[in-house]
Homo-oligomer: A and B are copies of this chain.
């Protein structure tokens, strides 16, 4: 049986894999999990014995097929729960992560599948991230960062890269959310800040903000 901890590691490795084509480094997982590198090494060995990761000393890890499946099962639960919290329990999108971190470990296939049905088979969570279906398949938009959007081209916000409460609440204050139409009116060459139209209001956002917003043209 999976312990809570092995699940956390698998999920961390899965997410870290998204950003690199090669193997995932010990330290990068240590930082994500909030553990020391030596603890991570221990866990890599253990996951390797369980054939959930491929691990060679000093060479980092990569998930096996079985490891990917296990990670996706957790991601599926995490995102379904986040959706539930927002759609039915009055949670804001910046409050759901910590609770979903707990709920994602609940073991019951029936629960997961019934929750999915109850939510009417959502394809994306409150942050715009895709939800794996029962077969663990998910389709993501071909989204791009707001920094890539040409001037005066219509687009819609479909996700965020930074999921921190601070950033999400900042977007709330700016009235930017999933589904908000966005148009870049002007790009300032000096500091790459953007003058945009978001919904009905026009406002200025920094480059740092823009590179954490996903849009679909």
Contact = CB atoms under 8 A, between A and B. Distances in A.
B114 A91 contact: yes
Interface stretch (A59-67, A103-111, A171-179, A203-211): A103-111
Interface string A92-131: 0001001100110111101100110110000000000000
Question: Dominant SS at the A interface?
Answer: helix
A85 interface: yes
A90 to B, nearest CB: 6
Interface residues of A, number: 20
Contact of A91 (B91, B107, B110, B117): B110
Nearest to A4: B4
Contact of A89 (B90, B103, B114): B114
B115 A89 contact: yes
A88 interface: yes
B103 A106 contact: yes
